[in-house]
Chain A
Amino acid sequence: MKKKKADCLEPAGMEKDRSYRWMVKRKKGRVFVKKWTATFIAAFFAILFLMPIVLTVTNSFMSSSEISSNYGQVFSTTDTGGKTFISEKVNLKFIPDMVSFSQYITVLLKSPDYLFKFWNSVILVAPIVFFQLLVAVLASYGFTRYRGRIKEMIFFIYIILMLMPYQVTLVPNYLVSNWLHLLDTRWAIWLPGIFSPFAVYLLTKFMRRIPISVIEAAQIDGAGEWQIFRRICLPLCKGCLCSVAILIFIDYWNMVEQPLILLSDDTMHPLSVFLSKIKNGEIGLAFAVATIYMVPTLLVFLYGEDYLVEGITYQGGIKG
């Protein structure tokens, strides 16, 4: 109570008062302590959050013999497989004894298998991102113009579909792919991905914020629907398109369930599935492969963090 008074009233005569000064001092001290405890907690969490990523990256610079001596135990299939490990303990190291690029050299030059899987990931994800955006931009324009009860109902169905977990949507996807003989081809992943309602939802929410007067002005100037879409809505949506693209990219780059169920052929699996099978044998390479796998997402993140944040913010508040 007193503290607050001191803060906001500051009567002229009080300035020379010792108790007042003391109060201000105490308050400043408290704010200082508070601020630095908050920073400390934030830093603690930040370290916790970043540690796995940093560890993965630093470990990718170890030579494979160092890795197998450190982590051999972890990735051996059976603990009593006849092997004896150099060290009893699993040594977690932040900094490798000797920086070596041997892992990367092996992955990039000597064993094309990993690069092939990486390419698989790219092939699976890139068309989905591009075409989902294309379909979604068109659809969201349709949802934005001439809203009626039917359109609202369809949009509501989209929202429900968007919120459904894979457990539910994969069954219909599987059935359709089976009927259309798409199973075990990339189309089984591409097509449901392209028509996924997620991007439609986000873009529609964004487009509905474009003031109607802008569109009407264009209409009065004689613009047709296509021109309104092309010249007005699309340029205004550029930022939102970026954020949606990033969100889709993360989601599909990380996919595991779909290829597991829809692609029974191992050679078409993306790196995300393949990484979990590395465990035996080539542990030495695993960290390098993992690092290579997360490089694209980190690049996208560095480039588009603000877009990502914006995209997430638009997701908040389900009702458009």
Chain B
Amino acid sequence: MKIRKLSERPEKIKKVKRVGGNGCRALRDIHRLKKKASLRDARGRRISSVFLTPSILGVLVFFVLPFFVVIFYSVVDNPISHQFVFLDNFKMVFQNAAFRQAASNTMKFSFIAVPLAVVLSLGLAMLLDSKIPFKSQFRTFFLTPMMVPIASIVLIWQVLFHYNGMVNDITAIFGAGKIDWLKSDHAQVVIIVLFLWKNLGYNMILFMAALSSIPKDILEVAVLESAKPWQIFLYIKIRYLSSTLLFVTIMSLINSFKVFREIYLLTDDYPYPTVYMMQHFMNNTFGNLDYQRLSAAAIMMSIVMVVIIGILFLAENHFGRDVEG
């Protein structure tokens, strides 16, 4: 009777029975072991969540919970009376000229700076990926700007781009007129240059890692099949780089939202209108402690970010599937 029952059990146990001789005892042992393991698992699970608690508590208190309050503030008329006004705050922010200026400036900046950052850093990575001498030194040089605090470099930047500064002297050689870089529409150019200077190294490292992960045999086969360099680039390298390309684009986009730091240090709270960014708007709103406006602006910003991040994930799922990086 017992033996028949055992024969219905899965393969593993049958084997144990054969080894152990006494099926009944082996079965009991396995049950006990399983029970022990599951107990241990439950205990481990509990302990591992203990490991998590400090971080989760901190994130809850400082980021997540207050964010819900921010959402709440964005739909009430003021923090004391809590009158529900739904989208009025958003409308108010939208109608604010400063906000519109800031949003359009930020978008304009991102549209110009991000593609430049991606293309240039890819170019640099390809450059360092080809056979050139002093490769590691070049990598160090390109990475240094990332390390240097912006505040230290701003001084020299002001000297370079001053009305009587060096950049104007250089452009004068080519016959261009003098430009007051920081106090005209060209301020955005200065900021873009600074942004590129700061961020190219970081992007380049990401691209270099991706380039070195392309399987060598595929490239060799392509050469043997007498593929032209541009074909290799377009059909193999870009294909393998696609997920990194996306990541770099997203990171550059996020960093381009942070460019306020550079502008603030270069100019001040109220810079030339073309470089008045989102963060300036936020800072000046912090100054008046207008919670509703702040909250509404933050919510809009976060919605934009969530959309961007969502696109990243979808795109990576779509592109990253058939290539194993």
Contacts and interface: CB of A to CB of B under 8 A. Distances in A.
Interface in A5-20: 8
Interface class of chain A by DSSP: helix
B48 A225 contact: yes
B294 interface: yes
Nearest to A250: B147
Contact of A135 (B44, B54, B134, B257): B54
B48 to A, nearest CB: 4
Nearest to B220: A8
A176 to B, nearest CB: 5
A172 B56 CA distance: 16
Interface centre among B149, B150, B154, B261 (most CB of A within 10 A): B149
B153 A52 contact: yes
A38 B325 contact: no
A315 B149 CA distance: 21
B151 interface: yes
Interface residues of A, number: 101
Interface of A: 1, 4, 8, 34-35, 38-39, 41-43, 45-46, 48-50, 52-53, 55-56, 59, 71, 73-75, 88-90, 92, 135-136, 138-139, 141-143, 145-146, 151, 154, 157-161, 163-176, 191-192, 194-195, 197, 200, 219, 224-226, 229, 250, 253-254, 256-257, 260-261, 271-273, 275-276, 286-287, 290-291, 293-294, 297-298, 300-301, 305, 308-309, 312-313, 315-319
Contacts of A272: 149-151, 265
19 contacts: A39-B134, A42-B124, A52-B156, A53-B145, A89-B169, A92-B160, A142-B48, A161-B64, A166-B260, A167-B278, A171-B298, A174-B286, A175-B66, A261-B283, A272-B150, A275-B155, A316-B244, A317-B244, A319-B316
Interface centre among B152, B159, B251, B264 (most CB of A within 10 A): B152
Given A74-B165, A136-B55, A316 B47 contact: no
A143 B142 CA distance: 35
Contact of A225 (B44, B67, B165, B325): B44
Given A168-B302, A253-B149, A318-B313, A49 B62 contact: no
A151 B49 CA distance: 9
B143 interface: yes
Nearest to A138: B51
A312 B202 contact: yes
The 6 closest A-B pairs by CB, nearest first: A195-B58, A142-B52, A139-B55, A172-B66, A142-B51, A290-B152
B26 interface: no
B267 to A, nearest CB: 9
